Amino acid sequence: MADLNTLTIAEARDRLRAGDVTARALTEACLTAIDGADALNSVVHKTPEKALEMADAADARLKSGDAPALCGIPLGIKDLFCTRHVDSQAGSRILQGFRPEYESTVTRQLWDSGAVMLGKLNMDEFAMGSSNETSTYGNAVNPWKVDDRKLTPGGSSGGSSAAVAADLCLAATGTDTGGSIRQPAAFTGTVGLKPTYGRVSRWGIVAFASSLDQAGPMTKSVRDAAILLQAMAGHDPLDSTSADIPVPDFEAALTGDIKGKTIGLPREYRMEGMSDEIDRLWAEGRKMLEDAGAKIVDVSLPHTKYALPAYYVIAPAEASSNLARYDGVRFGHRAKLDQGDGITEMYEKTRAEGFGDEVKRRVMVGTYVLSAGFYDAYYNRARKVRALIKRDFDEVFAQGVDAILTPATPTSAFGLGEMADSDPVAMYLNDVFTVTVNLAGLPGIAVPTGLDSKGLPLGLQLIGRPFEEGDLLNTAAELEARAGFVAKPERWW
pLDDT in tens, the chain (493 residues): 569 999 999 999 999 999 999 999 999 999 999 999 999 999 999 999 999 999 999 999 999 998 999 999 999 999 999 999 999 999 999 999 999 999 999 999 999 999 999 999 999 999 999 999 999 999 999 999 998 899 999 999 999 999 999 999 999 999 999 999 999 999 999 999 999 999 999 999 999 999 999 999 999 999 999 999 999 999 999 999 999 999 999 999 999 999 999 999 999 998 877 788 999 999 999 999 999 999 999 999 999 999 999 999 999 999 999 999 999 898 889 999 998 899 999 999 999 999 999 999 999 999 999 998 899 999 999 999 999 999 999 999 999 999 999 999 999 999 999 876 566 666 777 788 999 999 999 999 999 999 999 999 999 999 999 999 999 999 999 999 999 999 999 999 9
156 is catalytic: yes
Q: Give the 3-state secondary structure of residue 326.
A: coil
- In the set 92, 135, 160, 180, the catalytic residue is 180
320 labelled catalytic: no
SS3 call for 130? coil
Q: Is there a contact between 193 and 225 (Cβ–Cβ < 8 Å)?
A: yes
| pTM for this predicted structure | 0.97
List, in sequence order, every residue forming a beta bridge with 295; answer none if it has no partner. Answer: 262
Which of these is catalytic: 42, 104, 135, 156? Answer: 156
- Which DSSP helix (H) or strand (E) runs through 17? helix 9-18
Q: Where are the alpha helices (DSSP H) in 173-258?
A: 182-188, 222-232
CA 340 → CA 329, 330, 343, distances in Å? 17, 21, 10
Q: Does domain 4-260 have CATH number 3.90.1300.10?
A: yes
Instruction: Name every residue whose Cβ is closer than 8 Å to that of residue 103 and which is 6 or more positions away in sequence.
Output: 82, 83, 84, 111, 204
Q: Is 201 a catalytic residue?
A: no
